[in-house]
Amino acid sequence: MPVPPSLLDRDGALLVIAARTGQQLATRRLAPMGLTVQLCGVLNRLAVGPISQHELGQQLGIDRTTMVEVVDDLEARGVVVRQRNAADRRAYSIQLTPKGRTVQKRAAKAFDAAADEFFGPLRPPERQALSEMMRRLIAAADQKLGEPSGTEVASSRR
């Protein structure tokens, strides 16, 4: 998608357009698996380990109602299980099934391939520098918003 001339000098608009374009590339690679970028993100977080449904939604910025629908969808596919939390019977712990681990690995590879495709025009040092700058921007914005930053976890990825 070409950038409108009126937006060429607007960093914020360029960032939004870049993110949308990258997401479209990822969507194209995930669609044959019946997955979306959002579902891939949920699976990637669950690969770290079980987590409460509420905490999962908070970490990924997914509202409660949508989170229930997402987990229902993944549970129906047999890739996650929802279990009552022994410490808090009101809460559910979500974890990947063996099938879910397989799907997550395939989805992560597809997503990473889309990222490689998107960042392909950059040389490795440029991509690394861009990643560092994005982590700093996210951390600073999170601080201004009073939210914990997840960039320390993300910094291990490229």
In a domain, 80, yes or no: yes
CB 46 within 8 A of CB 107: no
| 3-state SS class at 80 | strand
Number of domains in the chain: 1
What DSSP state is assigned to residue 148? -
Query: What is the value of pTM for the model shown?
Result: 0.82
Rounded Cα gap, residues 76 and 9, in angstroms = 46
Render each residue's pLDDT in the chain as its tens digit; 158 residues.
678 888 888 899 999 999 999 999 999 999 999 999 999 999 999 999 999 998 999 999 999 999 999 999 999 999 999 988 777 777 889 999 999 999 999 999 999 999 999 999 999 999 999 999 999 999 999 899 987 665 544 444 44
The residue segments making up the domain with residue 96 are: 5-121
In a domain, 87, yes or no: yes
| 3-state SS class at 88 | coil
CATH of the domain at 48: 1.10.10.10
In a domain, 53, yes or no: yes
In a domain, 148, yes or no: no
